[in-house]
Amino acid sequence: MSCLEVQPIKTQNTPERGGEFLVCHCHGVTEGDIRLAIAETGASSVEEVSIRTRAGTGCRACRCKLSRILSGLPADCGRFGLCQHCGFAEVLCACSAA
């Protein structure tokens, strides 16, 4: 199956790194890492979080998740989140790990 084929929608992303939601695939940064950086440094913008964690400094696909966290929302974008394994939008992803 290719990642471009439609598959049933999951309600939550697969946990990664000890059960924490992996927000930035490029740099392996979890939601917990980001929330800790915000709490410890007072980072209040995507740019500040990126400087402190490196999240969002690669392909930039996770920057919407950084915004969600900064807005007090869960990082997971639900059905429009990225597959934790292949990086395609889950609504399109059908890789064997999804």
Q: Which residues bind ligand FES (CB under 6 A)?
A: 24-26, 55-62
Closest to ligand FES by CB, 9 vs 58, is 58
CB nearer to ligand FES: give 61 or 92.
61
CB of 55 to ligand FES, least distance (A): 5
CB of 27 to ligand FES, least distance (A): 6
Q: Based on CB atoms, which residue is closest to ligand FES, 7 or 57?
A: 57
Instruction: Count Cβ neighbours within 10 Å for each residue of 15-50 and write b for 16 or more, e otherwise.
Output: eeeeeebbbbbeeebbbebbbebbeeeebeebebbb
Quote the least distance from Cβ 95 to ligand FES, whole Å. Answer: 16
Token pair recorded at residue 55 = 């999240």
Amino acid letter for position 67: S
